Amino acid sequence: MNAVTLDGIDRDLVHALQIDGRAPFRTIAEVLGISENTVARRYRRLRAHGVLRVAGVFNGVPLGHTSWTLRLQCLPDAADAVATALAGRSDTSFVYVLCGGAEISCNVRTPSADERDALFLRKLPRTGRITSVSAHLLLRATALPHTWAGAARLSAEQVRRLQPPASASFPLPLPLSSAPSSLSAEPSAPDAQDRAMLDLLARDGRTGYRALAVAARVTDSTAKRRLDALRRAGVLTYAVDIAPAALGFPTEARLWMSVRPAALAGVATAMAQHPEVSFAAMTTGPSNLVAAVNCRNPDDLCRYLTERVAALDGVRSMESAPVIRTLKRCGATLPVGR
């Protein structure tokens, strides 16, 4: 990522895209009170410099897929290679190399028990440079990256004007292992044409309907109609892929917490209100709450852990690990250098 300093307009644009990554530039311009050309120019500049992109994210939860958080311990010289291989998979997201360079954290989506077992019981254990694998089912999220307050800039009225249709985003807390009850009908699994478009959107969520239609070998109107249907069903979402460092939060860490069961929901909800937290979810396992934290520097991280987290009633223990390299957030694998 080339060094680019975001000014107020850039940050407003990031927040607008966080609300709806597919919003037309004309709509964003009207809400921000600037010209459409300015919005387009700023977006293209930030994207060209590798600062941000909009990613179309496939969400398999409504189709019965399950989501997992993985921790892998590797031999010190193997972490980058293993993390790169994981980042190249279409079923992974948020792939990080953690402190010491011998640990990897990532999220994985599995569509079936067979595919889950193939990955957890056969593929990963056979990789000789992985010394241990810990997999925990993600149960319920109280904070997701698209709700992270670190990017917040706009007024409540501006946010309201940019909100996508209600069915295109899930309310929190979000059950990650079962379809949201708000869905009125069982969505259909993406077919080959849908997958062709989803592959393009994973790399660039603002890809035009003409290019999507060509990839899927359908008409422009069919491409739009099908993607609108996937979005309404919650199978397709759009997310801003931006490094927290670009917004002034270069110190990232993953937290694993053990919380008293009776207090778990309350602690998870409280953490979702912290502006440092971009992801929080209840999980299975001895550490039953996982979180992603973004701070301005190590001192801020120390204060957050010793003051904000320490004040939460019910937290029995906590383990933290700084992120030293990010290979993938949402969408497709990040280009080298990001």
pLDDT in tens, 205-237: 999 999 999 999 999 999 999 999 999 988 999
Using CA atoms, how far residue 331 sits from 15, 98, 118, 193, 335, in Å, is: 18, 20, 23, 18, 12
pLDDT band at 333 (very low <50, low <70, confident <90, very high): low
Q: Which of 177-183's residues contact partners 24+ apart within 8 Å by CB, and which partners?
A: 177/61, 177/66, 177/67, 177/137, 177/138, 177/139, 178/61, 178/64, 179/61, 179/62, 179/63, 179/64, 180/61, 180/62, 180/234, 183/62, 183/233, 183/234
What pLDDT sits at residue 151? 87
Share of the chain above pLDDT 90, in %: 68
pLDDT of res. 128: 73
User: What is the pLDDT of the chain when averaged over all its residues?
Assistant: 88
Least confident stretch, 109-118, 180-189, 256-265: 180-189
Which CATH class, in words, describes the domain spanning 143-148+248-323? Answer: alpha beta
pLDDT at 51 over 70: yes
The lowest-confidence range among 42-51, 179-188, 251-260 is 179-188
- CB 242, CB 151: distance < 8 Å: yes
Q: Position 315: which residue type? A: V
Q: Could you tell me which of 231, 68, 58, 45 has the C-alpha nearest to residue 135? A: 68
Q: Summarize the confidence of residues 24-53 as an average pLDDT.
A: 96
pLDDT in tens, 310-332: 999 999 999 999 999 999 998 76
Convert the pLDDT of each residue in 267-277 to its tens digit.
999 999 999 99
pLDDT, position 180: 41
Would you list the domain boundaries of the chain? Answer: 143-148+248-323
Q: Which one has a higher pLDDT value, 119 or 109?
A: 109
- Band (pLDDT 50/70/90 cuts) for residue 120 is confident
Q: What is the mean pLDDT of residues 288-307?
A: 97
